[in-house]
């Protein structure tokens, strides 16, 4: 790992993923691995070192896809993600892909216990109102809500429950995406990303308080990665 400071995310990082999409083969990867290391992974590692003083340890995900149980046998991910954990399945996220830069945060993976605690909370007016207020504020700042939801409604929940939309979620996060732009290639991009993560912190704190730890038994967590 390099000790160099973060100088920005170069345009070549996005171009790498454009080229990978056109030729997602091992031959391409091996011929361009140095570009991945220098233009994608290196800048994100430097960014992580700059952010870890405030957000804790930063994890960069592997660039390889797990194709064992997938019909899609493409060996490489079409993005590079970086995650800082606030709690089990809860954290801040940054992603580079051909389409640009995404900054996000929230509740990304869940255990049955967490879903049960979450739904018990948002079934009540107070917690549901607080969650709605937090997500509305982030939406006003340009973020969009996403996550895993049941198609209709959880078992035992009436169709006319006032908080049905919140009860449908099994994970929930907020994200903002930018197409490739010149500002990303400057050191000041770190401050912009830090500000976005800070704005997400109250939402992450809410999830950490409400959903709690992932599993009660040691070694049975269900962190799925990104």
Task: Identify the CATH number of the domain in which residue 168 sits.
Answer: 3.30.930.20
Per-residue pLDDT, averaged over 16-44, amounts to 97
d(C-alpha 109, C-alpha 211), whole Å: 11
Can you tell me the mean pLDDT for 103-116?
97
- The residues with which 207 forms a beta bridge, in sequence order, are none
In a domain, 177, yes or no: yes
Average pLDDT over residues 181-210: 98
The answer to whether residue 223 sits within a structural domain is no
Query: 3-state class of 130 per DSSP?
Result: helix
Higher pLDDT, 72 or 225: 72
Buried b (16+ CB within 10 A) or exposed e, 140-160: eeebeeebebeeeebeebeee
Alpha-carbon gap, residue 32 to 34, rounded angstroms: 5
pTM: 0.91
- Count of domains for the chain: 1
Structure confidence at residue 24 (pLDDT): 94
Distance from C-alpha of 199 to C-alpha of 73, rounded to nearest angstrom:
37
Nearest Cα to Cα of residue 50 among 6, 106, 1: 6
* pLDDT on residue 66: 84
Q: pLDDT value at position 4?
A: 78
Q: Provide the CA 81 distance to its chain's centre, in angstroms.
A: 7
pLDDT bucket at 3, cuts 50 / 70 / 90: low
4: in domain: no
Mean pLDDT of the chain: 92
* CB neighbourhood size of 226 (10 A): 17
Q: What is the mean pLDDT of residues 32-60?
A: 97
Tell me the β-bridge partners of 173. 106, 146
Reported confidence tier of residue 217, pLDDT bands at 50, 70, 90: very low
Give pLDDT, residue 79.
Answer: 97
- State the Cα–Cα distance between residues 38 and 223, nearest whole angstrom: 28
Query: Quick check: is 128 in a domain?
Result: yes
Mean pLDDT (whole number) for 95-123: 97
At residue 191, does pLDDT exceed 70? yes
Let me know if residue 222 belongs to a domain.
Answer: no
User: Mean of the pLDDT values across residues 146-150?
Assistant: 97
**What is the pLDDT, as a whole number, of residue 123?**
97
- Examine residue 2 and state whether it is found in any structural domain, yes or no: no
Task: Express each pLDDT in 154-174 by its tens digit.
Answer: 999 999 999 999 999 999 999
Q: Which residue has the higher pLDDT, 15 or 74?
A: 15
Domain that holds residue 157: 11-211
- Residue 221, in any domain of the structure: no
């Amino acid at each position: 790992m390099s000790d160099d400071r973060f100088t920005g995310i170069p345009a070549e990082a996005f171009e790498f993923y454009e080229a990978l999409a056109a030729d997602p083969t091992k031959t391409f990867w091996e011929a361009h691995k140095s570009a991945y290391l220098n233009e994608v992974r290196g800048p994100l590692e430097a960014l992580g070192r700059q952010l870890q003083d405030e957000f804790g340890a930063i994890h960069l995900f592997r660039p390889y896809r797990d194709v064992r149980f997938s019909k899609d046998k493409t060996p490489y991910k079409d993005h590079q993600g970086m995650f800082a954990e606030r709690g089990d399945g809860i954290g801040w996220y940054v992603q580079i892909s051909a389409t640009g830069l995404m900054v996000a945060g929230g509740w990304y993976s869940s255990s049955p216990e967490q879903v049960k605690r979450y739904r018990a909370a948002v079934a009540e007016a107070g917690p549901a109102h607080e969650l709605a207020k937090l997500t509305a504020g982030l939406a006003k700042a340009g973020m969009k809500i996403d996550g895993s939801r049941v198609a209709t409604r959880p078992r035992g929940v009436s169709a006319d429950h006032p908080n049905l939309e919140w009860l449908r979620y099994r994970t929930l996060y907020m994200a903002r995406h930018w197409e490739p732009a010149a500002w990303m290639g400057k050191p000041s991009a770190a401050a912009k990303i830090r500000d976005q993560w800070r704005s997400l912190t109250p939402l992450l704190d809410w999830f950490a308080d409400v959903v709690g730890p992932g599993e009660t038994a040691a070694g049975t967590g269900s962190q799925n990665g990104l």
